[in-house]
Amino acid sequence: MSKILILPGDGIGKEIVAQAIKVINSLNDNNDMGMSLEDGLIGGAAYDETGSPLPDETIKLAKNCDSILLGAVGGPKWESLERNLRPERGLLGIRSELDLFSNLRPAILYPQLANASSLKSEIVSGLDLMIVRELVGGIYFGKPRGVEIKDGERFGINSATYYESEIARIGHSAFQIAQKRGKHVCSVDKANVLEVCELWREVMEEVSKDYPDVTLSHLYVDNAAMQLVKDPKQFDVIVTSNLFGDVLSDCAAMLTGSIGMLPSASLNKNNYGMYEPIHGSAPDISGKDIANPLATILSVSMMLRYSLNQEELAKKIDIAVIKVLDKGYRTADIAFEGDKVVGTMEMGDLIVEALES
């Protein structure tokens, strides 16, 4: 029996997570896999109820479960709060509290959705790459940081820092994922300018010696950005630091043209993970039953694959999504002329139907 903590969060979070729960219930009913679900609070919803975007109770629940499924956090209602009370703080807090250092963001372009990309379909059709981003270190957390007065004017400072152990563990993550995929890792840095990146490159070379079946190449981040839009299918696994990964993974996501389709995982060293769609809480469409739930449903597939060791069940979900797309069903965000446009709830029902057929 695996215990899953459900954190719907804010905005469309509740609507899309409800569809993922339908999928989990269907898997429970039709397979031996027992997944028990527990509800928790995070983000604005948590602030409204407890005064904190990440209540202690949520951390306690998280530490007592096998995996977390998160919807999204944030929204205009909480934007004027002081920084450490904002919903997004809850997200950063839980990642760092659970040491979820390895962020996996696949960018997959389903052939059925090739029209959704802003690039020519021959460049992106069939794209399947994985970005492995270091999530709890680097310039987002390095000290010193802040804004101070220096030489009579305001002076801002952030520090890009990595211990070799932090680089090595994300390196191992990337190589192990590549072993299950196309066996190629491209490490992205800026070693021509930044000393911390020189160390990054050296450590990646050292880690690669443990994985003789995987090839390693290096790119500077500016070239990597260019290559991602020029010839994205050259990549299998990209491993990079927190800041570069933040930017490149959004760029890769946009190659697929459909933010509502992309799941993600954030793992610790024991493959304990938090799974969530890459998009935010989409306040503009919240409560209208039009949000695309597929990124969240595909996050359940990632959870089964990376944390719960249930590859067969993960594949079942992936196949159900393909079946539904093949039949021409689309939520509004991925629909083109001639498609059958369905709402959030109907899309969830269609995936369950495909799973059970």
Closer residue to ligand NAD in complex, CB, 80/357:
80
CB-nearer residue toward ligand NAD: 134 or 333: 333
260 binds ligand NAD (CB under 6 A): yes
Beta bridge partners of 128: 108
The conformational region for residue 141 under phi > 0 = left, psi -120 to 50 = alpha, else beta, is alpha
Least Cα distance to 330 among 317, 310, 312, 344 occurs for: 344
Active site residue 151: no
Pairing of strands 237-240, 184-189: parallel
* Residue 238 engages ligand NAD in binding (rule: CB under 6 A): no
185/248 with CB nearer ligand NAD: 248
- Candidates 29, 210, 222, 326; catalytic one: 222
Residue 220 identity (one-letter amino acid):
Y
Which x/- pattern, by CB under 6 A, does the window 325-344 give for ligand NAD? --------x-----------
Strand partners, 4: 37, 67
**Total number of residues that touch ligand NAD (CB under 6 A):** 22
Residues 282 and 322: their CA atoms lie apart, in Å, by 24
User: How many residues in the chain?
Assistant: 357
Binder to ligand NAD among 8, 40, 53, 75 (CB under 6 A)? 75
Q: Is 190 a catalytic residue?
A: yes
Please tell me whether residue 169 binds ligand NAD under the rule CB under 6 A. no
Is position 38 an interface residue for ligand NAD (rule: CB under 6 A)?
no
Q: What interhelical angle do 242-255 and 221-230 show, nearest 10?
A: 10
Indicate whether 259 belongs to the interface with ligand NAD (CB under 6 A).
yes
> With binding defined as CB under 6 A, does residue 282 bind ligand NAD?
yes
The CA distance from 29 to 18, in Å, is: 17
Contact between 285 and ligand NAD by CB under 6 A: the answer reads yes
- On the question of a cis peptide bond just before residue 144, with omega within 30 degrees of 0, the verdict is yes
Q: In degrees rounded to 5, what are phi and psi of residue 272?
A: -70, 140
Return d(Cα 68, Cα 61) in angstroms, integer: 10
Q: Is 140 a catalytic residue?
A: yes
Establish if 203 lies at the interface with ligand NAD (CB under 6 A).
no
Query: Per CB under 6 A, which region of 153-161, 179-187, 291-299, 307-315 contacts ligand NAD?
Result: 291-299
Given 99, 128, 250, 289, the catalytic residue: 250
Closest to ligand NAD by CB, 15 vs 189, is: 15
Q: Does 279 bind ligand NAD (CB under 6 A)?
A: yes
Please identify which of the residues 48, 66, 128, 140 carries the catalytic annotation: 140
67: contact with ligand NAD by CB under 6 A: no
**What is the Rg, in whole angstroms, of the alpha carbon atoms belonging to the chain?**
20
Q: Which of 189, 190, 272, 306 is catalytic?
A: 190
250 has catalytic annotation: yes
The one segment of 178-186, 226-234, 243-251, 274-282 that binds ligand NAD by CB under 6 A: 274-282
Asked if 292 is part of the footprint of ligand NAD (rule: CB under 6 A), the reply reads: yes
Minimum distance from CB of 31 to ligand NAD (Å)?
A: 27
Active site residues: 140, 190, 222, 246, 250
Binding site for ligand NAD (CB under 6 A): 12, 16, 72-75, 88, 91, 259-260, 276, 279-285, 291-292, 295, 333
